[in-house]
């Protein structure tokens, strides 16, 4: 199975700050990568797919980048509603696998 | 609008079988695949399997022969059956619609506890 190593495990950011979350795949995944946001008690929501395509309705302050084995999610100008857990997911090979998550909080 | 809703028992005894139903609306099961994903309370997400739009299935080998996914298109329902449950199967189970091998709509999830 492809292992997805996500970092950092937790992050504290000030309002308006730009933050990045990284995901490292154990082998090349050719940009078959998504990012999800999950708020407490809610189901995950798709933010980014195909490494850099913004899902409809997601604010433009979210962006994704990367290639090969290294990918990142950037949030430009942290907002209060951005607090939550973030997960990456690869769809290059079955079984689809997820990163272990990043908890993002407001400082 | 697109909706998915999981239902099933909240408590299952060890070694017993878990049966969950995902009822969908706003789209057809013959046009979209539906996945099952579970989440342990510690956060990690695990892809379990997929019901393809043509009725075929794919499974995570981690569940080997324990897992079965089926559907009833007339009722817009996808079913998950998993036997030989253990305490480590405790978690929240989600169904999610496929979008290019990602998950664009998720159900609210159903929490399952395996305990005697």
Question: Of B45, B61, B107, which has the smallest distance from its Cβ to A98's Cβ?
Answer: B45
The answer to whether the Cβ–Cβ distance between A100 and B44 falls below 8 Å is yes
Interval A45-63 mean pLDDT: 97
Write down the pLDDT at residue B41: 82
Structure tokens belonging to residue B11: 């408590």
Write down the pLDDT at residue B65: 87
State how far residue B72 is from chain A, nearest Cα, in angstroms.
Answer: 24
The answer to whether the Cβ–Cβ distance between B45 and A43 falls below 8 Å is no
The answer to whether the Cβ–Cβ distance between B61 and A85 falls below 8 Å is no
Q: Tell me how long chain B is.
A: 116
The answer to whether the Cβ–Cβ distance between B109 and A36 falls below 8 Å is no
Going by pLDDT thresholds of 50, 70 and 90, the confidence category of residue B44 is: confident
Dihedral pair phi/psi, residue B73, rounded to 5°: -65, -30
Dihedral pair phi/psi, residue A81, rounded to 5°: -75, -5
Average of per-residue pLDDT values in chain B? 96
pLDDT score of A84 more than 90: yes
Residue A19: which H helix or E strand, with range? strand A19-25
Task: Compute and round to an integer the Cα radius of gyration of chain A.
Answer: 13
Interval A95-103 mean pLDDT: 97
- Percentage helix, strand, coil, to 5, in chain A? 5, 50, 45
Question: Of A43, A50, A85, which has the smallest distance from its Cβ to B107's Cβ?
Answer: A43
Write down the pLDDT at residue B64: 72
Write down the pLDDT at residue B81: 98
Write down the pLDDT at residue A24: 98
pLDDT score of A77 more than 90: yes
pLDDT tens-digit map of B61-116: 999 789 999 999 999 999 999 999 999 999 999 999 999 999 999 999 999 999 99
Query: How far is the C-alpha of A35 from the C-alpha of A63, rounded, in Å?
Result: 10
Pick from A23, A15, A16: nearest CA to A47? A23
Distance, C-alpha A11 to centroid of its chain: 13
Query: How far is the C-alpha of B95 from the C-alpha of B82, rounded, in Å?
Result: 14
Per the CB < 8 A criterion, the answer to whether A86 and A20 are in contact is no
pLDDT tens-digit map of A6-44: 999 999 999 999 999 999 999 999 999 999 999 999 999
| Residues of chain A numbered 8-67 and touching chain B (CB < 8 Å) | 32, 34, 36, 43-46, 49-50, 55
* Ordered DSSP codes for chain B: --EEEEE--SEE-TTS-EEEEEEEESS-TTTS-EEEEEE-TTS-EEEEEEE-TTS-EEE-GGGGGGEEEEEEGGGTEEEEEE-S--GGG-EEEEEEEEETTEEEEE---EEEEE--
């Amino acid at each position: 199975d492809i292992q997805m190593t996500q970092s950092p495990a937790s992050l504290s950011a000030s309002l308006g700050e730009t933050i990045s979350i990284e995901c490292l795949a154990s082998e090349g995944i050719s940009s078959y990568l998504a990012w999800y946001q999950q708020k407490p008690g809610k189901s995950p929501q798709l933010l980014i797919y195909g490494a850099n395509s913004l899902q409809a309705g997601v604010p433009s302050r979210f962006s994704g980048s990367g290639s090969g084995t290294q990918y990142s999610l950037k949030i430009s100008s942290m907002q209060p509603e951005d607090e939550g857990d973030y997960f990456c997911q690869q769809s290059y090979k079955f079984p689809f696998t997820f990163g272990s998550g990043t908890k993002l909080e407001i400082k | 609008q697109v909706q998915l809703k999981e239902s099933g028992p909240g408590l299952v005894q060890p070694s017993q079988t878990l049966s969950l139903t995902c009822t969908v609306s706003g789209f057809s099961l013959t046009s979209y695949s539906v996945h099952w994903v579970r989440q342990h309370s510690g956060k990690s997400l695990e892809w379990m399997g997929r019901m393809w739009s043509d009725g075929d299935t794919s499974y995570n080998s981690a569940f080997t022969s324990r897992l079965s996914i089926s559907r009833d298109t007339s009722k817009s329902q996808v079913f998950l059956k998993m036997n030989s449950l253990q305490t480590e199967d405790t978690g929240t189970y989600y169904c999610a619609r496929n979008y290019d091998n990602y998950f664009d709509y998720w159900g609210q999830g159903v929490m399952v506890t395996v305990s005697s």
